[in-house]
Amino acid sequence: MPDNPTKVALITGGTRGIGRAIVEEFAAAGYAVAFTYAASVESAEKLAAGVGEKGGTALTFLADVRDFKRAQEVVEEVRSDLGPIDVLINNAGIRRDRALASMDPELWREVIDTNLGGTFNYARACIGEMLRSGGVILNVSSVSGKTGVAGQVNYSASKAGIIGFTRSLAKEVARFGVRVNAIAPGYIETNMTASLEEPARKKLLAQIPLGKAGQPRDVARLALYLASDDASYITGQVFTMDGGMT
């Protein structure tokens, strides 16, 4: 449980996979949560209703994380409705895999602007108030950003960028009581990985010493810890969760 049960967390990309698990985990821990989503109103409303049925608070915001102005609007609405944002979790991300030789510039820009640009947009929208009152920023990267993956130059570059962003920002804002960390998941069972064909899935699992995929809740629990006062001396770090693969 957070020290203050009225702490506020904003999660981008909150309706599926890791984002959904983070919303549910933080709400269960007593946070008032707000989350963005890119498309499905039904999924967002269902998630918020589920949080409400358990006694929690969840606000939903339709938002393309590439839109800086919309990021500012979302942050202001969250502050108005719930109070100052204590924790920002930049989770929204997409994959558009293609070999570089056949990658259109649009596929490059879409992934970079969503994954890395979205991280900038929401961190930038939140940072002013956090510099005055403290706070926590958590960025969801990927092992692809640490090791590189063939056919994912756009995705790997965006996730590597998030790691650099995290380490630089952590040093920039530490003296203001703002902590910034990243989580780099490996193979996690989500909608994004569900499209893998069975032979590729088996090959991937064979590379994981623990012999299994991770679950979204594994990432959510680590995020909850990193947002807590128990992690008050941790900043500028990248936590890899990949079953020992790297």
Helix (H, G, I), strand (E, B) or coil at 115: helix
Residues with Cβ within 8 Å of 105's Cβ and at least 6 positions away in sequence, in order, are: none
DSSP-assigned letter for residue 188: B
Residues with Cβ within 8 Å of 126's Cβ and at least 6 positions away in sequence, in order, are: 10, 75, 85, 88, 135, 137
Handedness of CA 97, 62, 78, 46 (dihedral sign): negative
Contact 162, 111 (CB under 8 A): no
Nearest 10 degrees: Cα torsion 121, 127, 128, 129: 120
Instruction: Give the CA distances from residue 143 to residues 1, 128, 133, 174, 246, in Å, rounded to whole numbers and listed in that order.
Output: 29, 30, 32, 25, 8
Cα gap 12→119, rounded to integer Å: 9
Q: Which residues are catalytic?
A: 155
